[in-house]
Amino acid sequence: MASALLKLDDTFKRHKNWKVGSLKYNLHKKAEASLNAGLDLKDAVKLPEGEEFNDWIAVHVVDFFNRVNLLYGTICRYCTSSTCPVMCGGPKYEYFWQDTDKYKKPTKLSAPEYISELMDWIEALINDESIFPIDAGIPFPKGFVNVCKKILSRLYRVFVHVYIHHFKEIGKIAGAEAHINTCYKHFYFFVTTHNLIEKKELEPLKELSAKICK
């Protein structure tokens, strides 16, 4: 299903892959196998026995980055500065962009500008081997989990925007609704199981979560 969606628009998406044979690659394949085997998502996100927590988080952060890129890529042609002049999730939730480079103060951006900045920012972080080490034996930096929390909370905002403002477009693409729902449930169970996003950040999709994440 993912490959069919990918063909719709390859221009936006970025991908990060672990080196074949590395510990994190093997963990990624283990997580993927659990999903493909039909394991309950609540169980699939649990830390496997004998594995390190930081490795498990790192693998999932990269995986969610790739998946959310894919999902947004299916509707990015509909998400423009004209249709979505503000990055928001309905009238109650508006998101401002801030980083340590171009936007040092919270700045109002259109949704496509915000999401593009977000993906560039995440891509730079996960490609930085001092933060996301590739080789086994190289320790994660102090504060690694906090970096991942920030990445995941910002990725969640893409789900919020897509569900609230572009679900009509999702519904027009064969198989896309089931795909985004599965991806969202996987993401939701992971971040709630491991307490990686504050409850207040999850409020915009509270009703959806109650409905599909039972």
* Count of C-beta atoms within a 10 Å radius of residue 186: 20
Q: What is the DSSP letter of 24?
A: H
Residue 60 is assigned to a ligand binding site: no
pLDDT of residue 19: 60
Q: What is the pLDDT of residues 108-158, one digit of tens each?
A: 999 999 999 999 999 999 889 899 988 777 899 999 999 999 999 999 999
AA letter at 76: C
For 178, the token pair is: 């089931």
Q: Is 84 annotated as a binding residue?
A: yes
pLDDT of 80 higher than 50: yes
Q: Is the CATH code 1.10.1370.40 the one for domain 2-212?
A: no
The answer on whether 148 is annotated among ligand-binding residues is no
Tell whether residue 161 is among the known ligand binding residues: yes
Rounded CA separation 24/17 (Å): 10
> With 50 as the cut, is the pLDDT of residue 213 above it?
yes
C-beta separation of 173 from 8 below 8 A: yes
pLDDT tens track for 27-73: 555 456 445 545 688 888 999 888 889 989 998 999 899 889 988 99
Instruction: Map residue 76 onto helix, strand or coil.
Output: coil
